[in-house]
Amino acid sequence: MPTQLEMALDTMLRISHQYSCKEGDRFKLSKGELKMLLQETHQPLQKDPQMVAKIVLDLDANKSNKVNFNEFVIMVATLTVACNDYFVEQLRKKGKLSSKLI
């Protein structure tokens, strides 16, 4: 039976390949594929097309107009950190988290 981390890694791989196979190189996300992935899988980004455009622009580190799996993983990690920071701040505002615990 796979662990939670193994299932998370599998999900990340599957999502990347689910969107990257729509056009061109099936192992890299085009800007259109990445935009579609972000808008369909991350609710806060569905309401912010400018943020999606910025992420797409910033993510293509090697300026290939495609996002390889390494760049995709960096995006997932960045979104994960941002979500964690948001939830920690919300707990702190509600008084349910002491700053000593962080």
DSSP E strands in the chain: the ranges are 29-30, 66-67
**CA-wise closest residue to 76 among 8, 25, 20, 2:** 8
Question: Per-residue pLDDT for 53 more than 90?
Answer: no
The pLDDT value given to residue 32: 85
Query: Within its chain, how far is the Cα of 80 from the centroid?
Result: 7
**pLDDT (average), residues 23-44:** 85
Q: How confident is the model at residue 11 (pLDDT cuts 50, 70, 90)?
A: very high
The pLDDT value given to residue 99: 53
**Whole-structure pTM value:** 0.75
Instruction: Classify the phi-psi angles of 63: left when phi > 0, otherwise alpha if psi is within -120 to 50, otherwise beta.
Output: left
Tokens 């192992």 belong to residue: 27
Residue 93 CA to residue 14 CA, distance in Å, equals 36
**pLDDT (average), residues 3-10:** 95
Q: Which amino acid is at 72?
A: F
